[in-house]
Structure 1
Amino acid sequence: MAVKTFNLPQKAFVNKFIPKSKFFEKAKVNSKIQQEFTDAIVRITWAYKLAENTINISGTDSMEELQIFNMQLKQKEIPKNVLKVIDKAIPSAILYTFEFENNFAYGITTKENAEQRYFFSDWNKELNFDFTGNTIEHIYQKIIKLFIQDKAGITIKNESFETILEKERQLANLEREIASLQNKIRTEKQFNKQVAYNKILRNKLKEKEFLKK
């Protein structure tokens, strides 16, 4: 399968195969993780490099470049442990494109933050990436916002990037709490406890809708 193409200058197109062993050397991974690479990945291609010398947009002290890696997979499952190794080995931020047979998906991580978090699209859902901006970091932040808006359904307002990330984190925690409460309601035999759980659930659902606005 050909590497997924984007509307970027030809100078940004790298299309370079990266041996899996390169990541083993840089990240010093154990044999178990090496086996995960073998089991999950057919081929890793460095598809694009977004930097001042390729797209004429300057970097910042915290983010000079943004890479796009194409990951050809052996199964329709995103190998998150493998991505952690790659992100540890590569200093710049990476937008991932995943391909399995005729299926595709996208992913990225909040790499510059202390709390590393991954965002993924649904399979076969196209996202309209905007590779324009004042800086490389600005482009990266717009990409993260696109994932958050797509997956979490948060309305992106004129708020700081950190505020939007915090909203998404709170929403993810709420989703876990709601799922736990729904499970308790399904399995609880005592009616009075079901009522109590339902009351808490209603409040959590209201919080969720408020956060998304």
Structure 2
Amino acid sequence: MTEAALFRWPQSAKFQRRMPKAQLERLADLQPRVRRSLTDDVREASWAYKLSPTTTGVPAGARIAEIQVIELGLKGRFVPEALIDALDSAIAHPVIFELRAGDSAMGEVLVLGATKTVSEKGALAHGPYHRSGWIDGTRDRRPLPVAPTLDALHDLLLAPLLGTERRASESVEAAERRLRAAAALDRVIAALERKMRSEPQLNRKLELRRELRSKQEERELLR
């Protein structure tokens, strides 16, 4: 249920700073195409919450000292992912984006986020984006999950967006690797099935069937 992605952010973490579009352009050094998206697709933006040890009582983790929540009011339902990528890449901490469709404060909401890493040289990189569907903004929000560290809290915030159940004690990064491996095997399996259908030689078809069965067993282990 994508509704599980809507969390009730603690009032103690409320930041609620409006982000003028000129500030966003400077922050993310936007390219012309992305700048047009900011003009055409976004109505307003605000830095809504800062989840830190001070504001949540949750200790910093080995990777994460703060989690930011940014709200984007959209003019429609188009998700400006290139703009989100540019903003995310300019912010040192992981970001949860809440996108609101249309001009109603209680309209539909889409939640989007990604893992984030910092290299030894200080370069920021984020993983693939995970998103909810559009959720009725009037729904009751879930309490913030209980977590021992902000690393664990970030995993719990992203978990409803993954589209699959995480295994016990599996990190979001590990779940992403499993999903990528599963997608790659799905492509291999589809290719083998096509080859089997078009293969006229019985011996070769039997070889393909054995290979297909092996790949299907590998795929089953990734569920």
Superposition TM-score tier, normalisation by shorter sequence:
0.7 to 0.9
Q: CA deviation at 1:25?
A: 1.3
Correspondence for 1:82:
83
| Counterpart Cα distance in 2 of 1:17 and 1:93 | 19
Q: CA deviation at 1:162?
A: 4.1
Q: CA deviation at 1:13?
A: 1.5
What is the identity, as a one-letter code, of the residue corresponding to 2:128? R
Name structure 1 gaps, 5 residues minimum.
none
Pairing 1:24-173 to 2, within 5 Å after superposition: 24-101=25-102, 102-112=107-117, 114=125, 116-124=127-135, 128=142, 130-148=144-162, 151=163, 153-173=164-184
How many residue pairs align between the two structures? 202
Identity of aligned residues (%): 22
Aligned-CA RMSD value: 3.5
User: Comparing both chains, which one has the higher relative contact order based on Cα–Cα distances under 8 Å and sequence gaps of 6 or more?
Assistant: 2
Q: CA deviation at 1:89?
A: 1.6
SS of residue in 2 equivalent to 1:59: coil
Q: CA deviation at 1:84?
A: 0.8
Correspondence for 1:21:
22
TM-score, length-scaled by structure 1: 0.76
Name structure 2 gaps, 5 residues minimum.
1-5, 119-124
| Counterpart Cα distance in 1 of 2:187 and 2:23 | 37
| Structure with bigger gyration radius | 2
Deviation per residue, 1:45-101 (Å, 9 max, x gap): 222110112112222352111011111112222211011111122111111111113
Q: CA deviation at 1:201?
A: 6.8
TM-score, length-scaled by structure 2: 0.73
| Counterpart Cα distance in 2 of 1:52 and 1:115 | 22
Deviates more, 1:153-162 or 1:136-145: 153-162
Q: CA deviation at 1:143?
A: 1.9
Deviation per residue, 1:107-131 (Å, 9 max, x gap): 1011127562111112228885744
Deviates more, 1:139-148 or 1:49-58: 139-148
